[in-house]
Amino acid sequence: MDERAGEVWRRAPSVYEKLDRLAGRPKHEANKDLLALLGITSAAGASDASPSVDEFEYAMHMAVMRRLESEDDTNLDEIADMLDAIASAVVELFERASAPGMPSAETERCSAWWRMLLSMAEDIARLIPVEFLGRLVSDFELSLVSLRAAYLKLATQRLSEFDAQREADAKVAEDTEAAAVAVGGGEVKEKEKDS
């Protein structure tokens, strides 16, 4: 990995090494380790030690390019596994962000990881040899079903929170207006007594 890039994306070299170790491992173990790497194993979200989206994307690009340049079938097969693991991590991010009461920053985080995933998938689809494209597409189609479900769950939660906030604001406005009318109505009665 380029030294200057390591200065810009400080965590990218360690992410790159961990991505290399994840390759070729059973899917469940790789997904679990990737979630730990990204700092999304706890409900609290990412820690300061977690790589940013940019750091992860750079490391992932380097891992993919190394495999593409090797022209080894085993290494090329690992690319689809890596993309599948990233998709699973993004699904987990969406699932956690859709919990009630999560801050809007988590939604923004999901958006950044979503864009990174689609960018990676597009780049990989352009560069991977044609004979590996079928597996890549079929695996990614399955991941997209899970991504869609997680996205809809998050959108539904955020919309229900927005609706609840609007209803609460409307209730406060009604109560304020009713109180103003009650106070104003009392003044009218006092004026009538004085007359």
Query: Residue 82 above 50 pLDDT?
Result: yes
Query: Residue 116 above 50 pLDDT?
Result: yes
pLDDT at 48: 62
The torsion angle over the Cα atoms of residues 128, 133, 135 and 137, rounded to 10 degrees, is 110
pTM of the model as a whole: 0.77
Tokens of 75: 């290494």
Mean pLDDT over all residues of the chain? 85
Q: What is the pLDDT of residues 7-43, one digit of tens each?
A: 778 888 888 888 888 877 888 888 888 888 888 765 4
Q: What is the pLDDT of residues 38-72, one digit of tens each?
A: 887 654 445 567 888 999 999 999 999 999 998 88
pLDDT at 98: 92
Region 106-133: mean pLDDT is 93
Region 181-185: mean pLDDT is 72
In one-letter notation, the amino acid at residue 85 is A
Tokens of 190: 């006092």
pLDDT at 69: 92
pLDDT at 44: 47
Q: Are 154 and 98 in contact (CB under 8 A)?
A: yes
